[in-house]
Amino acid sequence: GEEEGEVKTSDLLKTWKALADVAHLHKAQFEDEFKQDAIILESFKSPSFPVKCPESNLSKACFQRLAEGLMVYMVFLKHVEKEYPNNSLLSAAKSYSKVLIPLIKEHMTHSDQVTAPTSNQEEQLLKDYDKPADVFYRKMAAHGILHHLRKFLADGKRAIHKREKV
């Protein structure tokens, strides 16, 4: 029969993929609203956005990166919520991450090393987004967050898939 670990991993992959699929729709939503190619969102990048797992090294540290990356994006989504309270990716990300983070931790030997941002860190992450009075900029920044979340989820899906094949 199947080993327990395999079942858990495919639960993780299935759940991650479901969220990545919702995220995939963001490009069309953006292009529909702004009539511009979503590639312009590349420039709306924060140095605080989580980095993807390196292609060559899919170690257990990758799981920590995915879990903490999701937690950081949950903070950035607070800005998105101000601009687009009914965004489908926003609500999907909030509900899926509640399931994904514990699923990821199940795959880690040292899941206690996964740390959520402190309230001070959250404040730091959001401070650049709270300043601009320019509505257009705030909306573009919100879409920038969603755009980079979509890329993070796509990279994460590939990383989890590769780990499964090992």
Residue 67: CATH number of its domain: 1.20.1250.10
Q: Which helix (H) or strand (E) holds 140?
A: helix 135-165
User: What pLDDT is recorded for position 9?
Assistant: 55
**Region 120-143: what's the mean pLDDT?**
89
Percent of the chain with pLDDT over 70: 92
Tens-digit pLDDT profile for residues 5-17? 444 557 999 999 9
User: What pLDDT is recorded for position 5?
Assistant: 47
**Region 30-56: what's the mean pLDDT?**
89
Domain count, the chain: 1
Give the 3-state secondary structure percentages of the chain, helix then strand then coil, rounded to 5.
Answer: 75, 0, 25
Tens-digit pLDDT profile for residues 65-77? 999 999 999 999 9
User: What pLDDT is recorded for position 58?
Assistant: 61
b/e map 46-67, b = 16+ CB within 10 Å: eeebbebbeeeebeeebbbbbb
Percent of the chain with pLDDT over 90: 68
Q: Pick 166 or 36 by higher pLDDT.
A: 36
Domain that holds residue 41: 4-165
Using 50, 70 and 90 to split pLDDT, how confident is the model at 52?
confident
Residue 2 confidence (pLDDT) above 70? no
